[in-house]
């Protein structure tokens, strides 16, 4: 097997369904349609989302057609594949606000000029009840409730709405609409991804192959999720991005190097053998470089080293202005230092938010901001 194809099908991959068929098509040089769908559940993409986007870029670099679907319709319904409780319905207004810069953010990873960009409201909005009924007939309720997280909720007496049953059908129909040959997704979405194969067969299409990747841990060790406030976003400023990465547990560094960068795997292995702090510095520089450029990454690195070798404050800590009555939590969220009130509460309980000098606040171990009150 070609070395590039071998890495394509192994790096950051936990399972492939339809692998043999996919390998044959790749060996034959077929140009495939590679689908990735993302729901804009929050305003910014995070590194967890970058994993399938990097895989999409890998396929793109080998000459395949990338198809990126923004789930402006499915976001309103809500995917609970990885949830232990019902996800509240989002308003259309919130989805519209969140999706404004998603394609632009994705463009930090994939080549947008060579990507087919779609919204799934194009085909889901016009669906009739008749069509929905025909699609639903391909699945049983037993299939749905057999999923681990759904079964646990039912066993615990928690509510499971009919709305949640519809989500896999909608994600599956996305594959029909764009005639996907391959769909990328996280391991938690297995049921939804298989729904695409089922519906493609119903509509006379060849079932897509499925390439699944792992979920990645956030800054607190749990699965990276905006709702938990443990994310590193692609829009974090360089200093915050660098600092958040430096706050990761040592054992996550090699995992991040493999999943969130494209440093050659033999180098990843060598970096992992070195001192944990050196490996983490390499990771922080590489990721900051990917999203902000080498100059910004070097500056963030220098600031970090200055602050922590001397135990002081970075030389050019970011300064923001705020009203004299503005709440600290609101300022930190507005400026992207933290992602949610839940993160603020957690950090505050841990004693990880403190004022240092001249209006400078240290947030967590490695984030700083100076607030000038007006």
How far apart, in whole angstroms, are the C-alpha atoms of residue 124 and residue 170? 7
Average pLDDT for 110-129: 97
Nearest by Cα to 364 from 248, 285, 279, 277 = 248
pLDDT in tens, 339-349: 888 888 888 88
Packing angle of the helix pair 276-292, 238-246 (nearest 10 deg) = 150
What is the structure's pLDDT at 135?
95
Q: What is the phi/psi pair of residue 209, to 5°?
A: -80, 155
Cα dihedral value 216, 84, 40, 337, nearest 10:
-60
Enter the pTM of the model.
0.84
Average pLDDT for 178-190: 97
Residue 1: band (very low, low, confident or very high) from pLDDT cuts 50, 70, 90: low
- How is residue 191 written in tokens? 């049921």
What is the structure's pLDDT at 85?
63
What is the structure's pLDDT at 264?
96
pLDDT in tens, 283-305: 999 999 999 999 999 999 998 88
- The yes-or-no verdict on residue 173 having pLDDT over 90 is yes
What is the structure's pLDDT at 341?
87
Q: What is the phi/psi pair of residue 280, to 5°?
A: -70, -40
Q: What is the phi/psi pair of residue 85, to 5°?
A: -150, 170
Q: What is the mean pLDDT of the chain?
A: 91
pLDDT in tens, 198-209: 999 999 999 999
């Amino acid at each position: 097997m070609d070395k590039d194809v071998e890495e394509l099908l192994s790096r950051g991959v936990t399972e492939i369904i339809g692998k043999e068929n996919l390998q044959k098509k790749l060996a034959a040089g077929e140009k495939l349609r590679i689908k990735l769908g993302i729901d804009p559940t929050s305003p910014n993409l995070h590194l967890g989302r970058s994993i399938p986007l990097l895989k999409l870029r890998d396929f793109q670099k080998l000459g395949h057609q990338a198809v990126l679907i923004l789930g402006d319709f499915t976001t309103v319904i809500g995917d609970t594949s990885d949830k232990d409780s019902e996800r509240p319905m989002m308003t259309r207004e919130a989805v519209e606000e969140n999706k404004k810069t998603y394609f632009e953010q994705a463009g930090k990873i994939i080549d947008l000029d060579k990507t087919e960009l779609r919204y799934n409201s194009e085909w889901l909005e016009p669906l009739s009840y008749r069509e929905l009924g025909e699609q639903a007939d391909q699945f049983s309720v037993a299939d749905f409730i057999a999923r681990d997280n759904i079964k646990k909720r039912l066993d615990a007496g928690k509510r499971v709405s009919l709305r949640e049953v519809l989500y896999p059908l909608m994600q599956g129909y996305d594959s029909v609409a764009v005639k996907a040959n391959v769909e990328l997704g996280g391991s938690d979405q297995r049921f939804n991804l298989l729904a695409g194969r089922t519906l493609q067969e119903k509509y006379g299409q060849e079932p897509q192959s499925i390439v699944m990747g792992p979920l990645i841990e956030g800054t607190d060790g749990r699965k990276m999720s905006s709702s938990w406030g443990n994310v590193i976003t692609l829009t974090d400023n360089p200093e915050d991005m660098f600092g958040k990465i430096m706050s990761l547990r040592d054992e996550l560094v090699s995992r991040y190097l493999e999943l969130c960068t494209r440093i050659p795997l033999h180098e990843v292995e060598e970096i992992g053998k070195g001192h944990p702090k050196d490996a983490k510095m390499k990771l922080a520089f590489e990721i900051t470089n990917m999203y902000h450029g080498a100059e910004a990454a070097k500056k963030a690195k220098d600031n970090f080293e200055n602050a922590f070798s001397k135990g002081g404050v970075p030389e050019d800590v970011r300064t923001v202005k705020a009203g004299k009555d503005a709440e600290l939590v609101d300022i930190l969220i507005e400026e992207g230092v933290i992602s949610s009130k839940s993160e603020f509460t957690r950090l505050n309980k841990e004693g990880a938010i403190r004022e240092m000098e001249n209006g400078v606040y240290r947030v967590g171990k490695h984030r700083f901001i100076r607030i000038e009150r007006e």
